[in-house]
Amino acid sequence: MRIVLDAMGSDACPEPEIHAAMEAARLFTDEIILVGPQKQLETILKGIEAPSPNIRLVDAADVITMEDKGLKLALKAKRQNAQNTMAVGIDLVKNGEADAFVTAGNTGGALATAYYRLGVISGVERPGLTGLFPVKEGYCVVLDIGANPDCKPEHLVHFGIMGAVYAEKILGKNEPRVGLLSNGEEAGKGNQLVQDTYPLLEASGLNFIGNVEGKELFQGRADVVITDGFTGNILLKSTEAVAKLITDLLRQELLSSTRTKLGALLAKPAFESIKKLIDPAEVGAAPLLGIDGLVFIGHGRSDQRALVNAIRVTRQAINSNLLNALQTAIKERIASLSAQVKP
Amino acid sequence: MRIVLDAMGSDACPEPEIHAAMEAARLFTDEIILVGPQKQLETILKGIEAPSPNIRLVDAADVITMEDKGLKLALKAKRQNAQNTMAVGIDLVKNGEADAFVTAGNTGGALATAYYRLGVISGVERPGLTGLFPVKEGYCVVLDIGANPDCKPEHLVHFGIMGAVYAEKILGKNEPRVGLLSNGEEAGKGNQLVQDTYPLLEASGLNFIGNVEGKELFQGRADVVITDGFTGNILLKSTEAVAKLITDLLRQELLSSTRTKLGALLAKPAFESIKKLIDPAEVGAAPLLGIDGLVFIGHGRSDQRALVNAIRVTRQAINSNLLNALQTAIKERIASLSAQVKP
């Protein structure tokens, strides 16, 4: 197994990436291909005792930064001879020199680079950005969390098909329950997009459980929740923000007196489980579903542990032949849907 | 001041309503008009020592329940001779016999009843359901949180105008900062609706601070955040659900061992502040902005304290002449906007 890790992705790059590559190469004995400015990476690696023989460096002088956007970003993503880590890394996947690409860098950059260089799975129009949301028990696959602010019903159906494959292959869910995010449970609730998508999902052959509200999502009623990229992004960022608001306030209040400090010390095990619940490092990374290749994106704040977990989930995707399963599911379900919807 | 309280609104009605009416009548010496099945209310009131002379009962035999929806709900809301508590109570406002109506009942029912019986403020097409979100410091006015799943740009502009008046009159904000909920801060980010609304808000004369993400909302970057009712409803329900998930998990973990139980006991003051942050009773109720009359809606789980707080905020609205300010702001800003946008 050969996994490309963008050495210049995370906010604190490239140290977390180098150490994560070392750890992953040791743990999994896979080849980890670090893509980045070779000399800089070599200097750091030289300072490390006994670097793993399973690490290979591939030079990429340029970087897509968090500030890159619009035309500049599109050009960096698209240009044939682009020398940024994402373009170089994704080309390794394209050329069959690696099985998957992992980055904790600019999400829009990874999306654009993957889209231009790998294209989409046949039958898919729009790739969806996937998130794993911690829920009451386990995780819920949510997409799209930001790639497509405006979606058509068929895009949402494709997200449902792909999300179900992901939940099955990676989370081990049998007949994953697919829900449509809405402002009310009953069929007929929702905005126009939701109302137009509902009958298509009913006819899709997926285990469609109908509309789900935000409340039910976090209660774990569905394994996969699908939505447009605008709503999904607001869902992601606002719930992250509320979790942070509560934990920040709690921390502040707990440190406000000797009594509460002592209480916090005693109650520490309880806080650890909260921390685990809302820590993006637990999940590691989530895929761009619909891209014709395996591309996983982690949080910008990823540390070594998060990046090792990102590589871990990417390995699972390779091992379970996720890409092939996605291609097959899209082909079969779309054919069956067309047969039903346009008789 | 004469405030109508729907005696049959909250999940535990009518006891919390009766006791809240008693407390409010004593605290504020206003007339509180309890609308509900008169005999039932009288029986309960008789069991109470020294009921306040400021409480008046108005008979309404029927109720809009949480199960009412669709055509049935529309008929209950609209019929001239409807005898449900919302129709009877709102008619008191319409006929000038009361200054405002407060309910903790079916939100859709209150919206429909208010819409049919009071109509909308001249210039407003769609009333918006308003929420007060607890943020880092204080509250943020968010609308629409569910009345209109599909909105046009002008609806969002009206929400902005009305939300700003509310933030000024009720939260005491000077030149309230109005933000547009989006999946990215930069102008040009967002779905089509957001992109079309942005220039109108720029030309509105409001203190428009541009797009805000979910993160910034909870950091308190804006006093007013506007969005369509689909997104707003998902924002509301998912953030409530995350807060509940975290606090439930924390409670469960804290009770899991003697050590953590002791810690929880010592840390209790810290938990109280979290509870206060996420307790809807703190806010009491929020208005239907755009309805041509004062209608406030509280949470179905409202208890006596929540209902007294609901009456408190309704009093503020009456005292500050909120309705008049809304009418004036809509008229002036729309005139100024039309002059600019269609020259």
Which architecture does CATH list for A132-279+328-341? 3-Layer(aba) Sandwich (3.40)
| pLDDT range class, residue A272, cuts 50, 70, 90 | confident
- The mean per-residue pLDDT over the stretch B4-9 comes to 97
pLDDT in tens, B246-292: 888 888 888 888 888 888 888 888 888 778 777 777 888 999 999 99
How many Cβ contacts (< 8 angstroms) between chains A and B?
200
| pLDDT range class, residue B42, cuts 50, 70, 90 | very high
Distance from CA of B297 to the nearest CA of A (A): 18
User: Which value, in Å, is the radius of gyration of the alpha carbons in chain A?
Assistant: 21
HEC profile for A26-84? HHHCCEEEEEECHHHHHHHHHCCCCCCCCEEEEECCECCCCCCCHHHHHHHHHCCCCCE
Hey, what's the torsion of the CAs at B136, B137, B138, B140, to 10 degrees?
-50
ipTM: 0.90
**Residues of chain A contacting B247 with CB distance shorter than 8 Å:** 246
| pLDDT range class, residue B94, cuts 50, 70, 90 | very high
Under CATH, which number does the domain B130-250+272-277 receive?
3.40.718.10
pLDDT in tens, B137-188: 899 999 999 999 999 999 999 999 999 999 999 999 999 999 999 998 888 8
Residue B206 has pLDDT above 60, yes or no: yes
Which residues of chain A from 51 to 110 reach within 8 Å of chain B, CB to CB?
Answer: 69
Most confidently predicted of A66-70, B53-57, B112-116 = B112-116
Cα-to-chain-centroid distance, residue B132: 7
What homologous superfamily does CATH list for B2-126+282-327? Isopropylmalate Dehydrogenase (3.40.718.10)
| pLDDT range class, residue A342, cuts 50, 70, 90 | low
HEC profile for B204-247? CCCEEEEEECHHHHHHCCCCEEECCHHHHHHHHHHHHHHHHHHH
Q: Which helix (DSSP H) or strand (DSSP E) does residue B295 occupy?
A: strand B295-297
Residue A341 has pLDDT above 80, yes or no: no
Contact B262 A259 (CB under 8 A): no
- The mean per-residue pLDDT over the stretch A197-210 comes to 96
Contact B274 A213 (CB under 8 A): no
Contact B266 A270 (CB under 8 A): no
- For the sheet containing A31-36, what is the strand order? A55-59, A31-36, A2-6, A100-103, A295-297, A286-289, A128-134, A139-143, A224-226, A177-181, A207-212
B2-126+282-327 shares its CATH topology with B130-250+272-277: yes
Distance from CA of A248 to the nearest CA of B (A): 10
Question: Which range (A204-208, B8-12, B108-112, B258-262) has the least confidence?
Answer: B258-262
Question: Residue A190: which of B191, B194, B230 has the nearest Cβ?
Answer: B230
Contact A190 B260 (CB under 8 A): no
**Residues of chain A contacting B257 with CB distance shorter than 8 Å:** 269
pLDDT of amino acid B342? 60
- The mean per-residue pLDDT over the stretch B208-227 comes to 96
Which residues of chain A from 110 to 139 reach within 8 Å of chain B, CB to CB?
Answer: 135-136
CB B147 within 8 A of CB B204: no
Rounded Cα distance, A172 and B153, in Å: 43
pLDDT in tens, A99-127: 999 999 999 999 999 999 999 999 999 99
- For the sheet containing B139-143, what is the strand order? B55-59, B31-36, B2-6, B100-103, B295-297, B286-289, B128-134, B139-143, B224-226, B177-181, B207-212
**Residues of chain A contacting B145 with CB distance shorter than 8 Å:** none
Q: CB of B187 within 8 Å of any CB in chain A?
A: no
Under CATH, which number does the domain A2-126+281-320 receive?
3.40.718.10
Three-class SS state of B293? coil
- Minimal-distance CA residue of chain B relative to A195: B149
**Residues of chain B contacting A256 with CB distance shorter than 8 Å:** 269-270
Name the β-bridge partners of A179: A210, A225
Contact B237 A278 (CB under 8 A): no
Query: What are the residue ranges spanned by the domains of chain A?
Result: 2-126+281-320, 132-279+328-341
